[in-house]
Amino acid sequence: MAASLKRWFYRGGRPNRAARAIDRWTGRLYALGIAPNRLVVLEVAGRRTGRTVATPLVMAVVGGERHLVSMLGEGSNWVRNVRAAGGAAVLRHGRREEVCLDEVAPEHRAAVLRAYLKRAPNARVHVPVAADAPEAEFARVAPLFPVFRATPAAPPPHDPEPTPGTR
| Selection from 122, 128, 152 nearest residue 23 by Cα | 122
Q: What pLDDT is recorded for position 155?
A: 73
Q: What pLDDT is recorded for position 134?
A: 94
- pLDDT at position 1 over 60: no
Dump pLDDT digits (tens) for 88-132: 999 998 899 999 999 999 999 999 999 999 998 888 888 889 888
Instruction: Give me the phi and psi of 164, to 5 degrees please.
Output: -55, 140
Q: What pLDDT is recorded for position 122?
A: 82
In which band, very low, low, confident or very high, does the pLDDT at 151 lie, cut at 50, 70 and 90? very high
Amino acid at 115: A
Residue ranges of E strands in the chain: 39-45, 52-62, 65-69, 88-92, 96-103, 147-152
Hey, what domains does the chain have and what are their CATH numbers? Answer: 3-152 (2.30.110.10)
Instruction: Give Cα 128 to chain centroid, integer Å.
Output: 19
Q: Are 131 and 139 in contact (CB under 8 A)?
A: no
Lowest mean pLDDT among 60-74, 105-119, 150-164: 150-164
Q: Are 68 and 42 in contact (CB under 8 A)?
A: yes
- pLDDT at position 74 over 70: yes
Strands 65-69 and 52-62: antiparallel
Dump pLDDT digits (tens) for 12-50: 556 667 666 666 656 666 666 666 668 899 999 999 999
Measured in residues, the chain has a length of 167
The three-state secondary structure class of 88 is: strand
